[in-house]
């Protein structure tokens, strides 16, 4: 199980940049960490109301993460082409990672096995990984969803700590 103080499992997946339907490139966590801390915000599915609310809270607070040289990535099992459309529709200002083969949600142990009793998706959760590759913050909800603006503010504080600011 990935927890605070654990080394973050490395992975390579497609990243949806959001500038076009086919704006897809490879993403490797270890390479991204060379540029500073990373926030991995797992969500069940693009185009759903609660996931949109959560990702828009990150969108609206992105200047805080940019100021810390931190990168935020949404992570779901959606295909990157769908993620690109969602990024454009919602004006999201950060990329999405496509865990289409469910490798990352397995590595991070954040699997929601029966969304609508039918499909396996990412469990809503957030990890902050410092530039050394160590998990410095972990959030997995128990019960109802939180106030996402407050959660993103808390994550911003965790990133500032991970960045040494």
Query: Catalytic annotation on 56?
Result: no
Q: CB neighbours of 81 closer than 8 A, spacing ≥ 6? A: 16, 21, 22, 24
Closest to 124 (Cα-Cα) out of 14, 68, 43, 48: 43
Q: Which residue among 16, 51, 72, 96 is the active-site one?
A: 51
* DSSP bridge partners of 41: 74, 126
Q: CB neighbours of 4 closer than 8 A, spacing ≥ 6? A: 135, 136, 137, 138
Active site residues: 51
């Amino acid at each position: 199980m990935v927890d605070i103080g654990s080394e973050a499992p490395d992975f390579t997946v497609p990243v949806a940049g959001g500038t076009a339907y086919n704006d897809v490139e490879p993403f490797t966590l270890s390479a991204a960490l060379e540029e500073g801390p990373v926030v991995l915000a797992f969500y069940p599915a693009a185009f759903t109301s609660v996931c949109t609310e959560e990702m828009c809270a990150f969108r609206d607070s992105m200047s805080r993460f940019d100021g810390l040289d931190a990168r935020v990535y949404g992570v779901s099992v959606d295909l990157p082409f769908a993620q690109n459309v969602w990024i454009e529709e919602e004006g999201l200002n950060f990329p999405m990672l496509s865990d289409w083969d469910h490798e990352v949600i397995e590595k991070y142990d954040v699997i929601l096995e029966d969304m609508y009793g039918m499909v396996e998706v990412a469990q809503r959760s957030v990890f902050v990984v410092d530039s050394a590759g160590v998990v410095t913050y972990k959030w997995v909800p128990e019960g109802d969803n939180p106030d996402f603006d407050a959660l993103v503010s808390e994550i911003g504080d965790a990133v500032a700590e991970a960045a040494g600011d």
